[in-house]
Amino acid sequence: MSASVTRPAGTEQGSGVVQETRPQTVIVIDDDRAMRLSCQKVLSKAGFAVETFETGSAGLEAIATLKPILAVVDLKMPGISGMEVIARIHEIDPQVVIVVITGYATIDTAVEAIKSGAYDFVPKPFSPDELRLIVNRGLEHRRLILASHQAEMERELLKRRFITFVSHQLQTPLVAIHQYLDVLRHLESPDPAKTREWLDRCLTRTEEIQAIIKDWLTLSKLEGGTLAGQRVKVDVKRILAEILGSYEVLAGEDSLTLEQQFTEQDCCVAGDPSCVGVLFDNLIVNAIKYNKPGGKVTVTVERTPDEIVVSVGDTGIGIPEKYRQMLFQEFFRIQEERKTPGTGLGLAISKRVVSEMGGSISVESEVGVGSTFRVRLLAWREPQQ
Amino acid sequence: MSARATVLVIDDDQDCRASIRYLLEDRGYSVIEAGGAREGLKKVTEQRPDLILLDVMMECDSAGYSVAHAIKYREEFSGCRNVPVIMLSSIQESPDQLFAMSPESEMIRPDLYLAKPLDATALTDAVERLLEVRPSPAVKAS
């Protein structure tokens, strides 16, 4: 079950191009009229809307309404000092990039200005090219700030959504358990057989919670890079045979056949054995869970000169086209299949492991016929002597 | 009450349905179950329940609302319009607030919201109260 009721809107946006939402306005604050005019001329030509101000206070008053992307500020002005103007501009609007003009070209003043929040400085006298260069560099800096700000926000939204999902996933079984216990406590003389049945259900639902937590922890370890960091020689065929062996009983319950078609060739990869195990375990469990009674699970291992290709095929319900894009997303579950127990994290984990190992995972499926998941991993190479 | 009142429980979690069913049967009600919105609507017309317990998040996040909306506005449910509906939800925010922005929120407002996990006493009290105040008992189809 998904919980997108509380999901913030617009979280699906990719981290593509950063949108500049402001008009390309640059302000120039300088008491020297000739300087104002020449700056205006150069920057207008470069495509900016330019507003000039004779004093710091006049410029500051305009910041809130003009919302400039950049301010060129003369450091030496009568009235409010350039240094103070810099600080006050950022009090009003921290997103404005400030470039200072310094008349007496001492490095100390420039450094002081940068400490106060200016991004860069241009010493007088300067050529039109120098001004353009410094302004463009300032704007590049602004784009970087906006981009990192946006990336930060996207991460935050994703995290919040993830927490909402996990909470809901945990809450569903907890609600069921709570209600059983509450009703049992409430009944004067509950039927012992019923009590027994309900306690069993409570235990089953507890296991569901444990599975979610286990998957969640695996995922967060993968995210932190602590799980998939190890790179040792892992025999893919051996791991697959072990997994298939461990599911014989489960498959037998639904009269499923587990078939392995392994190449004779050596099929080792570089990775962490437990991660590789989790990766294939998830695929094989799915192939069993979402199969039809009497169906078949076929695990094939092939090798190309560079790659090991593992396919896990089932004869199950198939995955409708519309769901294939979302299949590997955390907590995604096909609506029609919600009755089958699952955490919605298995494929997300498998995908994460595969990408950590520099491989790829894909799916082919036909509704009503079955699905095949194919994993490609780089073949093991003996370290050069 | 002359005949036993029938309560329809629409919830996609079989364990939630099981505990509610047992509790209500213990209190003398007759209980029927549906595991989703579509099945729920089918049982509304076929079995004419006297009260409906309706989970909000089922096939999709607002499946419960579509059920409530159908009962109140679709022609084939005209005979069940006055059946009291109790909506069940485990989301922390009041669904009433959550959907307040929607122009349809007024149209789908149930008679009562109860938070999951349900409190046994609160549920039985609410069921009893809503069945008492209903204007006239629903006419049974058969």
What residues of chain A have any CB closer than 8 angstroms to a CB in chain B? Answer: 1-6, 168, 171-172, 174-180, 182-183, 185-187, 194, 198, 201, 205, 335, 338
- Between chain A and chain B, the number of residue pairs with CB atoms below 8 A apart is 71
Q: Which has more confidence, A10 or A326?
A: A326
A15: burial class by Cβ within 10 Å (0-12, 13-18, 19+)?
A: exposed
Say if the Cβ atoms of A6 and B59 lie within 8 Å.
no
Is the pLDDT confidence value at A164 over 50? yes
Give the C-alpha separation, B133 to B120, whole Å: 20
Instruction: Check whether A96 has a pLDDT greater than 70.
Output: yes
Q: Which amino acid is at B32?
A: I
Confidence label for A325 from pLDDT (cuts 50, 70 and 90): confident
The pLDDT tens digits of the residues spanning B47-84 come to: 999 999 999 877 666 678 788 888 888 888 888 888 99
Residue A88: exposed, middle, or buried by beta-carbon count in 10 A (0-12, 13-18, 19+)?
Answer: middle
Statement: residue A3 has pLDDT above 50: no
Instruction: Give the list of residues 6+ apart from residue B22 with CB closer than 8 angstroms, or none.
Output: A183, A187, A194
3-state secondary structure of A300: strand
Distance CA B16, CA B18 (A): 5
The β-bridge relationship of strands A307-314 and A296-303 is antiparallel
Kind of pairing between the strands at A370-378 and A307-314: antiparallel
* Res A42: pLDDT: 92
| Cβ atoms < 10 Å from Cβ of A259 | 12
Handedness of CA A73, A76, A81, A87 (dihedral sign): positive
* Percentage of chain B exceeding pLDDT 70: 75
Q: Is A367's pLDDT higher than 60?
A: yes
Q: Any idea what DSSP says for residue B4?
A: P
User: Among residues of chain A, what percentage have pLDDT more than 90?
Assistant: 39
Nearest to A1 among B26, B57, B93 (CB): B57
Contact B91 A4 (CB under 8 A): no
3-state SS assignment for residue B120: helix
**Mean pLDDT, to the nearest integer, of A380-385?**
77
pLDDT at B102 over 60: no
Interface test with A, best of B9, B27, B61, B123 (most A CBs within 10 A): B61
**Integer Cα distance of A129 and A254 in angstroms:** 77
**Helices of type H across B1-142:** 14-26, 37-47, 63-73, 95-98, 120-133
Top-confidence residue, A53 or A272: A53
Least confident segment among A49-53, A188-192, B27-31 = A188-192
Q: Do B13 and A172 touch (CB under 8 A)?
A: yes
The predicted structure's pLDDT at residue B99:
55
Tell me, what's the pLDDT at A235?
94
Q: Which residue of B has its CA nearest to A189?
A: B26
β-partners of residue B116 are none
- How far is it, in rounded angstroms, from Cα B13 to Cα B90? 12
CA distances to A27, A99, A114 from A71, in Å: 5, 6, 14
DSSP state of A379: B
Residue B140 is predicted with a pLDDT of: 47
Mean pLDDT on A83-106: 86
| Strand ordering across the sheet containing B30-34 | B30-34, B6-10, B51-55, B85-89, B112-115
Residue A13: pLDDT band (50, 70, 90) is very low
**Distance between CA atoms of residues A70 and B132, nearest Å:** 70
Q: Are the beta carbons of A6 and B22 separated by less than 8 Å?
A: no
Q: Do B19 and A198 touch (CB under 8 A)?
A: yes
- CA-nearest residue of chain A to B93? A6
> Is pLDDT of A308 > 90?
yes
Q: pLDDT confidence of A9, banded at 50, 70, 90?
A: very low
Counting every residue written for chain B, the total comes to 142
Judged by CB atoms closer than 8 Å, whether chains meet at B26 and A187 is answered as: yes
Cβ atoms of A195 and A184 closer than 8 Å:
yes
Cα angle A312-A314-A317, degrees, rounded to a multiple of 5: 135
pLDDT at A78: 84
- What kind and span of H or E run contains A134? helix A128-186
Identify the pLDDT of residue B103.
53
Average pLDDT over residues A325-332: 74
Give residue A310's pLDDT band: very low, low, confident or very high (50, 70, 90).
very high
